[in-house]
Structure 1
Amino acid sequence: MNADLLTTIGNVGFPIAVSVYLLVRFEGKLEALTLSINDLSSSIKSLLIKSDDK
């Protein structure tokens, strides 16, 4: 019984730990990408407004 529990934890625990680690890392990168896209959108809008004024 004890060996089965350890085997199950070993088989399931490692993929769960890797998944959690990757999700935490990707969350920060996605946040940075979202901010960059918003900044780019603002820059494009301001350029379009300036070109319309000419």
Structure 2
Amino acid sequence: MSPFEMFSASIGNFGFPLVLSIYLLIRFEKRIETLTTAIYELLQVVKKDP
């Protein structure tokens, strides 16, 4: 079964919003981690500068 067929079957079984949410969460997980690190580093810089 190809990935597209599995994706289509999942949409039919679970509904489009659920499948889309899971896809976006997996796709953006790395970017969210990178942004979290950048925000933490920015917080440390702001705390050093009075």
Same fold (TM over 0.5): yes
Q: Which has the higher contact order (CA 8 A, sep 6+)?
A: 2
Which structure 1 residue ranges, 5 or more long, are not aligned?
1-8, 49-54
Give 1:24 deviation, angstroms.
1.4
More helix by share: 1
Give 1:20 deviation, angstroms.
3.5
Larger Rg: 1
Aligned-partner residue type, residue 38 of structure 1: Y
CA RMSD of aligned residues (A): 2.1
Question: How many aligned positions are there?
Answer: 39
Query: Could you list the runs of 4 or more consecutive aligned residues of structure 1 that deviate by over 6 angstroms after TM superposition?
Result: none
Provide the C-alpha distance between the structure 2 equivalents of 1:44 and 1:28, rounded to a whole number of angstroms. Answer: 25
**Identity across aligned pairs (percent)?**
33
TM-score (norm 2): 0.55
Aligned-partner residue type, residue 41 of structure 1: L
TM-score (norm 1): 0.52
